[in-house]
Structure 1
């Protein structure tokens, strides 16, 4: 069984590490977080791996998994190389949705001298709560790209913990990730805006949340049952553009930023409406 080091065991690292141990995919060697309590918490949840906070104590493993913020990749990998924490000919992969395996090499050309197999694996799932994420991880779609050997090893590893693997290319990584941002991050922002609009109209917080919940779930269910075009409802679908114009002005009067958001959705929704079945 290959050994694995986890660098930055936050919610994603904890979830994956736990699953790798549960399904006997990797032997977790060490878990590195900058804060001792977080390393100890991650080690306890994963149920394996020495909790450390200092790169100088990191022992090279067969596989190294980076779960650090995108902007920290360059400096973290530089430090790993500096303290000889990367084994020659080993596998180095990260779990970023936006960055590709080539970004690791571009930022850290010294990796080439180590002949590392590099890759990225991005699980398309929310990891807000690791314990829940671990229990529902089965059938999670994970995108993989990188060197052939790294993809082969990591595909087998992630399939063993229940993932469904898709292959993508490095050059499409940012656009691919934008889809995830729209489907998850911006959806949350949109729900926050909807609830805020209800509240500004005088509706209490609990009722506002219930209203947004009902509409959002109904719309999402329809999207995945009958498709986006058929699922579209509302004034733009009906052709009530006078309502849309007046509503846009009202939203802007309430909050300029939210007014810009409302305005930004008008043209894309018009385009979608043109693909929809005309309302009767």
Structure 2
């Protein structure tokens, strides 16, 4: 087994570390965190490794995973590069928003660099470990690094998907659209129903079949085929009345409604 040292003892680092340890893919050598307690919790969850709080004390390894926040990737990489030889090692981070170019300090030190972004929520690491198989991971970086990381991901049931590093931020925004902003739009629907006198718990039940069927249709037919409603029918008189009424009720939600009309019209044109 190749030795893996982990920088960052958060949910992502702990879950991936445990998956690789349990599968016998990597020998987890060490876990670096900001506090001794956090490092110890990471090691306890993974079931292997030495807890450390200083980059210089992190055991040397063949592969280094930087599972830290985006703003800590560059300084963490720099600390790693100045604390040990990296010639021939693999250094990768798990950010969805930054490309592997953020690891320039490691590359300059002779490492092969990459990024691996699992496309799922890590709010519950135990649940992630139990149901990780089938998870897609956006990957990009140097060919030598990906040639070793891709089989390691596949060994824990992941599905690596190569992405364009130049479009990494747009790639990450796609996940925001598919997850975060979807919740925001549903919240607008729930609040609008409540404004019409419908209790929140009932509003959720009204939204459930509409949202679930729409999602099912998107994944079955594609977005254009799944589109319905007044814009899809070309009923812009209704659209204008709705936007005016929503704006009168809540200006911010009215702005959201109006911002969604042009891209929905473009989608309707694709459907036709």
- TM-score normalised by L of structure 1: 0.89
Alpha-carbon deviations, 1:152-201, whole Å to 9, x = none?
11001001011112222322222222222211222222223322333333
Paired residues of 1:61 and 1:86 also in contact (CA < 8 A): no
Paired residues of 1:89 and 1:114 also in contact (CA < 8 A): no
Q: Taking structure 1 as reference, are residues 270 and 113 closer, same or farther at Cα in structure 2, changes over 3 Å only?
A: closer
List runs of 5+ in structure 1 lacking aligned partners: none
- Matched with 2:204 is 209
Q: Taking structure 1 as reference, are residues 85 and 201 closer, same or farther at Cα in structure 2, changes over 3 Å only?
A: farther
Number of residue pairs aligned between Structure 1 and Structure 2? 272
- Indicate the SS of the match to 2:179: helix
Of the structure 1 ranges 226-235 and 155-164, higher mean CA displacement relative to structure 2 is found in 226-235
- Indicate the SS of the match to 1:128: coil
Aligned counterparts of 1:274 and 1:76: Cα–Cα separation in 2 = 48
Q: Does 1:98 align with 2:97?
A: yes
Aligned counterparts of 1:217 and 1:35: Cα–Cα separation in 2 = 43
- Indicate the SS of the match to 1:98: coil
Aligned counterparts of 2:189 and 2:84: Cα–Cα separation in 1 = 48
Q: Does 1:270 align with 2:240?
A: no
Instruction: Report the Cα offset of residue 269 of structure 1.
Output: 0.6
Instruction: Report the Cα offset of residue 86 of structure 1.
Output: 5.6
**Cα RMSD (Å):** 1.9
Alpha-carbon deviations, 1:189-221, whole Å to 9, x = none?
222332233333332222222223322111100
- Matched with 1:232 is 227
- Matched with 2:111 is 116
- Matched with 1:78 is 78
- Indicate the SS of the match to 2:114: strand
Aligned counterparts of 2:64 and 2:146: Cα–Cα separation in 1 = 14
Paired residues of 1:4 and 1:63 also in contact (CA < 8 A): yes
- TM-score normalised by L of structure 2: 0.92
- Matched with 1:9 is 9
Aligned counterparts of 1:66 and 1:94: Cα–Cα separation in 2 = 4
- Matched with 1:63 is 63
- Indicate the SS of the match to 2:246: helix
List runs of 5+ in structure 2 lacking aligned partners: none
Aligned counterparts of 1:58 and 1:94: Cα–Cα separation in 2 = 16
Q: Does 1:130 align with 2:125?
A: yes
Q: Taking structure 1 as reference, are residues 269 and 157 closer, same or farther at Cα in structure 2, changes over 3 Å only?
A: same
Paired residues of 1:119 and 1:145 also in contact (CA < 8 A): yes
Of the structure 1 ranges 22-31 and 47-56, higher mean CA displacement relative to structure 2 is found in 47-56
- Indicate the SS of the match to 2:4: strand
Of the structure 1 ranges 53-62 and 157-166, higher mean CA displacement relative to structure 2 is found in 53-62
Paired residues of 1:59 and 1:85 also in contact (CA < 8 A): no
- Matched with 1:194 is 189
Runs (4+) of structure 1 exceeding 6 A deviation are none
- Matched with 1:40 is 40
